[in-house]
Amino acid sequence: MTKMPLPSSHYFFFAIFLSYTLPPTLQVPLFAPISKDPSTQLYTLSLYLKTPLQPTKLHLDLGSSFTWLLCDSTYTSSSYHHIPCNSSLCASFHSTACSNCFHPRAPNCANDTCALFPENPLTRTTLLDNALIDSLALPTSDGSTQGPLILISDFIFSCSSSSLLQGLATNAAGLAALGRSSNSLPAQISAALSSSLCFALCLPASTSSPGAAFFGSTGPYFTSSKIDLSKLLNYTSLIVNPVGDTVITHDAQPSDEYFINLTSILINGHAVPINSSILTVDKNGFGGTKISTAEPYTVLETSVYKLFVERFANASAAFNLTVTEAVEPFGVCYPAKDLTETRVGPAVPTVDLVMQSEDVFWRIFGGNSMVRIEREGVDVWCLGFVDGGSRRRTPIVIGAYQMEDNLLQFDLHSNKLGFTSSLLLQAATCSDLNVANFYNHTK
């Protein structure tokens, strides 16, 4: 990534508000708060964009290829610029689209401008819009202390219109892409700062207390009680799906989503009899298991789901639980009064996602397997896994609810996923990783 000269307005801004450093090799992660939107139950990532730097919330998507941002008349920045169609940078996007506009020049209007196809991962809609370069900044942090803002003055993203925001987290001004693409947010941070191509997510269960994302380092990630969560990580390989699944997919383009080698699912230590053939990604991109923030709950192909809920309901008998009327979209629910609370959530059978070998598993306790529903006289705990139908392209998709208050580290240099079990075991949550006063840099 080419370093762009720093505009004089940046010097003025930083001289007043903060110390500014750009180390040749970043040793401490960059930090961004993650908030859970109470109305959609989706997540936003908070960062700084433009000149002068403006706090901005973007919908967090784990599998998207490149970030996109609303570029309407409210977009104000003195540092943005377009990318010419015939440039080597435009060619690197594998996009043959070129945009022209015969109105006054603006972020979303220029002639001979490289164009991209921003996509909404929930509605699976896309449009054609300008590629843009502007400033991005995030503070350094190890989870317990916050350092100065680090500026990346040549951050690449796509413009978009408000129609593409449909269904995304409320108040999001666009989408933060965390996929495997060389143009994703983590990849651009790594390239600009010569840091590790690694990032970690800790999604909050609370809508009032943010979680955290860390970029550019394999740790440490300290909680407020000084626990380094990087020491608790277990690791499994990340699998590359050879065929992309975006609306606009170029020939021979692999998927930018994150797949893992799930080999079995255990309920209270007993295997669910899954047809092993569906757990492997084939040459056409079908099969396997991926991790996605686009799904609120883990989605299972119908044949897997039926076996899973049957075995879970049978194992629940040992906890003196009796199934009650289900509440959509869930298929198995229990009266809330019958469940006992523990420090890791309601006492129910454990679910183990086993990867590559029997001693590598991601254990899911009640806090991540059960969803409390209280409305209109109903008070139940429901199993937070849903039936995704038959003949799914990806038969198992681990959803966001199962990730909450778990730390996940995506190490793309070593091509591995690090994961903890519930942080509640450590008397901690993802909110304990949040560095206070994130926005004080601009006050």
DSSP states of 57-120 as a string?
A: EEEEESS-SS-EEE-STT---SS-EE-BTTSHHHHHTT---EE---SS-BTTB-SSEEEE--EE
Which residue type occupies 260?
I
Q: Does the pLDDT value for residue 428 go beyond 80?
A: yes
Q: What is the pLDDT of residues 323-359, one digit of tens each?
A: 999 999 999 999 999 999 999 999 999 999 999 888 9
State the burial class of residue 112 (Cβ atoms within 10 Å of its Cβ: 0-12, 13-18, 19+).
middle
Of 90-99, 195-204, 306-315, 378-387, the range with the lowest mean pLDDT is 90-99
Q: Which of 173, 189, 166, 238 is nearest to 408 (CA)?
A: 238
Beta pairing, strands 54-61 & 43-49: antiparallel
Q: Is the model more confident about 81 or about 19?
A: 81
CA distances from 308 to 16, 344, 349, 367 (A): 58, 21, 12, 18
d(CA 285, CA 188): 26
Q: Does the pLDDT value for residue 3 go beyond 60?
A: no
Instruction: Tell me the mean pLDDT in the region 211-235.
Output: 92
Mean pLDDT score of the chain: 89
Instruction: Tell me the mean pLDDT in the region 165-180.
Output: 96
Beta pairing, strands 146-160 & 68-70: parallel
Give the model's pLDDT for residue 49. Answer: 97
The share of the chain scoring above pLDDT 70, in percent, equals 90
d(CA 440, CA 76): 21
Over its C-alpha atoms, the chain yields an Rg (Å, rounded) of: 22
Long-range contacts of 96-103 (CB under 8 A, 24+ apart): 97/128, 99/128, 99/129, 99/130
Give the pLDDT band (50/70/90) at residue 224. confident
Q: In the 8-state DSSP scheme, what is residue 222?
A: B
Which residue type occupies 426?
Q
Q: In the 8-state DSSP scheme, what is residue 277?
A: G
Q: Does the pLDDT value for residue 6 go beyond 90?
A: no
d(CA 310, CA 56): 44
Give the model's pLDDT for residue 143. Answer: 61
Give the model's pLDDT for residue 96. Answer: 79
Beta pairing, strands 270-271 & 289-291: unpaired
Q: Does the pLDDT value for residue 5 go beyond 50?
A: no
Q: Does the pLDDT value for residue 240 go beyond 50?
A: yes
**For the chain, what is the total number of helices (H) and then of strands (E)?**
5, 31
CA distances from 139 to 51, 147, 422, 435 (A): 16, 6, 27, 10
CA 117 to chain centre: 20
Give the model's pLDDT for residue 7. Answer: 36
* Unique residue bearing structure tokens 């196809």: 117
Classify the C-alpha dihedral 265-385-185-255 as positive or negative. Answer: positive
Give the model's pLDDT for residue 272. Answer: 97
Give the model's pLDDT for residue 175. Answer: 98
CA 325 to chain centre: 33
Give the model's pLDDT for residue 21. Answer: 44
Q: Is 232 helix (H, G, I), strand (E, B) or coil?
A: helix
Helix (H) or strand (E) holding 352: strand 351-355
Instruction: Tell me the mean pLDDT in the region 114-133.
Output: 93
Q: Does the pLDDT value for residue 23 go beyond 80?
A: no
Q: Is 414 helix (H, G, I), strand (E, B) or coil?
A: coil
d(CA 159, CA 331): 40
Beta pairing, strands 211-215 & 333-335: unpaired
Give the model's pLDDT for residue 435. Answer: 60
d(CA 135, CA 10): 10
Q: What is the pLDDT of residues 29-55, one digit of tens each?
A: 899 999 999 999 999 999 999 999 999
Instruction: Tell me the mean pLDDT in the region 70-79.
Output: 91
Give the pLDDT band (50/70/90) at residue 291. very high
The share of the chain scoring above pLDDT 90, in percent, equals 75
At 14, give phi and psi (nearest 5°). Answer: -75, -35
Q: Is the model more confident about 260 or about 376?
A: 260
